[in-house]
Amino acid sequence: MLRHVVLDGLSQKDRLIGRTERGLRLPRVQFLYIHHSFTDELDALRRLVEDLSHTHAFIPYSEGVTRVQEGRIDRPYICLSSDDGFRNNLDGARVLRELGVSACFFINPALIGLNDEMENARLCADRFHLPPVRFLDRKEVEELVSLGHEIGSHSWEHHRMSALPYEAMVEDIQRTRETLLRWLGRADHFAFPYGRFADLTASGYRAVFAAGHVSCATAERGCHANTRPIPADHLLIRRDHIILDWPLAHIRYFLGTNAMNGSADHNPYCAAP
Ligand SMILES: [Zn+2]
């Protein structure tokens, strides 16, 4: 409640001086991610895309990654993604398809098609701090692809990568990519569970690229505004978390602030471990 009131105040004050508006119009690639799109959140998803479309081009995740790697950022862009592979992602994916937007869904192959209720309850509590939630199955993952979306790796079964012994971590990263390649023929992008810089070690970061991925994403807030190329394996993609029932003004405030804090010459949001 307090957070809500404070953000209301900040987003209001900010709007008055036009900072949010100016920020939203700055050239950059803003990556966003959600975890769920429940039925009662689908209208909010539609409103969010429609609102941000006034100032941004929504582009596929792969295109956003390439633009950042090449420093080819000539206007405001947004790339959408979603982590964890919950079944309700499919409803959001269908809405995005209607709106002509492609997103990247980061999934854990071990959880796809999980039928065992006890195991589902255990994993949801242990890995996601959630009551039991249904995960996508193989057919639904294929439907995401047929809707024009991309599938990325979120590790085998959502372990904290930095907590695994080195060999187990490397095997987890490789096994996940090989499985997605077998299922879908593509597995270019990696986003590690929990997503704080500390949740992936420097050796884990190197293992992501050694396994053949072309990008590695965090859940650290920020955007990318570089005008010079960044080698693929020197880039950690920043992403902002969005919960669809947040007020639009708050989301705009966050994104405007990200943009004002980044710049073409010095982008504090690009980091290499
Ligand atoms: Zn996750």
Mean pLDDT of 259-264: 70
Q: Pick from 174, 169, 206: which is nearest to 187 by CA?
A: 174
User: In whole angstroms, how far apart are CA 184 and each of 19, 96, 121?
Assistant: 43, 21, 28
The Cβ of residue 268 has, within 10 Å, a number of other Cβ atoms equal to: 11
Is the pLDDT at 43 greater than 50? The verdict is yes
Summarised one tens digit per residue, pLDDT across range 3-12 is: 777 777 777 7
Q: How far is the CA of 4 from the centre of ligand 1 (A)?
A: 25
Summarised one tens digit per residue, pLDDT across range 197-240 is: 889 988 999 999 999 999 999 999 889 988 888 888 788 899 99
Q: How far is the CA of 160 from the centre of ligand 1 (A)?
A: 9
Residue with tokens 């880039």: 235
Q: How far is the CA of 195 from the centre of ligand 1 (A)?
A: 8
Taking each helix axis from N to C end, the angle separating 42-53 and 248-261, rounded to the nearest 10 degrees, works out to: 40
Q: How confident is the model at residue 267 (pLDDT cuts 50, 70, 90)?
A: very low
The Cβ of residue 75 has, within 10 Å, a number of other Cβ atoms equal to: 12
- pLDDT score, position 269: 42
- pLDDT score, position 14: 63
Length of the chain: 273
Domain annotation for the chain: domains and CATH numbers: 2-261 (3.20.20.370)
The Cβ of residue 209 has, within 10 Å, a number of other Cβ atoms equal to: 17
Q: How far is the CA of 121 from the centre of ligand 1 (A)?
A: 16
Is the pLDDT at 265 greater than 80? The verdict is no
Residue with tokens 């190329």: 229
